[in-house]
């Protein structure tokens, strides 16, 4: 298995995402866990016999005897189609997360820093109560509520891609997840 790091300049959106990836690492380390953040340039890829797989953002190490791959996003729920809000995830990234989970035999989490709860998109205060988590296994088991075309960075370039959406109520506070039997 080889690692290929693509070289490209960061957009302001990617830089903001990178900031919150670092903040998540800082949070889990402060809570007594280990965490490895994969280098971005713009997407870390592992080459496998079946083709390249895009890695998750970080790897939460040995929490309660298990390790978790984590995909970190800094966003707020979208309320245009659901009264309780919803979160989206790109179809192509979901496919890569599924492949990655199978390839390395590890579970993955969709971790969100909810900037609506934090006080705004540009807030830079890292509070544990603003983090939410959902195992990707729940995304696979719970049919997405809708699919739409939206913007995403693919190979360092902004493109329109299919995005799946799930109700925001499926996410739980990160600190609650840490104390749950499912963690």
Least confident piece of the model among 17-21, 51-55, 135-139, 178-182: 178-182
| pTM of the entire predicted model | 0.90
Residues 6+ positions from 49 with CB-CB distance below 8 Å: none
Pairing relationship of beta strands 86-90 and 66-75 according to DSSP bridges:
unpaired
Asked whether the predicted pLDDT for residue 38 surpasses 50, the reply is yes
Is the four-CA dihedral 142, 148, 150, 152 of positive or negative sign? positive
Question: To the nearest whole number, what is the mean pLDDT of the chain?
Answer: 89
User: What is the rounded average pLDDT of the residues 123-147?
Assistant: 95
CA distance 120 to 91: 27
Strand partners, 6: none
Per the CB < 8 A criterion, the answer to whether 179 and 98 are in contact is: no
Report all structural domains of the chain as residue ranges with CATH numbers, in order of start. 2-179 (3.40.1350.10)
Question: pLDDT for 47-106, tens place per residue?
Answer: 999 999 999 999 998 767 788 999 999 999 999 888 889 999 999 999 999 999 999 999
User: What is the rounded average pLDDT of the residues 15-20?
Assistant: 92
Question: What are the structure tokens assigned to 113, written together?
Answer: 């820093």
């Amino acid at each position: 298995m080889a690692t290929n790091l693509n070289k490209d300049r960061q957009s302001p959106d990617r830089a903001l995402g990178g900031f919150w990836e670092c903040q998540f690492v800082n949070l889990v380390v402060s809570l007594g866990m280990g965490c490895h953040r994969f280098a971005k340039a713009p997407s870390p890829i592992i080459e496998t016999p079946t083709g390249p797989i895009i890695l998750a953002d970080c790897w939460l190490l040995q929490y309660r005897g298990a390790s978790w791959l984590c995909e970190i996003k800094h966003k707020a729920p979208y309320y245009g189609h659901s009264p309780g809000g919803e979160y989206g995830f790109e179809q192509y990234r979901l496919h890569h997360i599924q492949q990655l989970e199978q390839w390395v035999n590890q579970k993955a989490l969709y971790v969100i820093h909810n900037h609506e709860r934090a006080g705004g998109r540009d807030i830079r205060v890292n509070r544990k109560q603003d983090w939410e988590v959902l195992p990707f296994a729940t995304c696979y088991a719970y049919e997405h509520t809708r699919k739409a075309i939206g913007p995403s960075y693919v190979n360092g370039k902004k493109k329109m891609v299919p995005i799946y959406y799930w109700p925001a109520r499926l996410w739980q506070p990160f600190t609650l997840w840490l104390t749950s039997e499912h963690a």
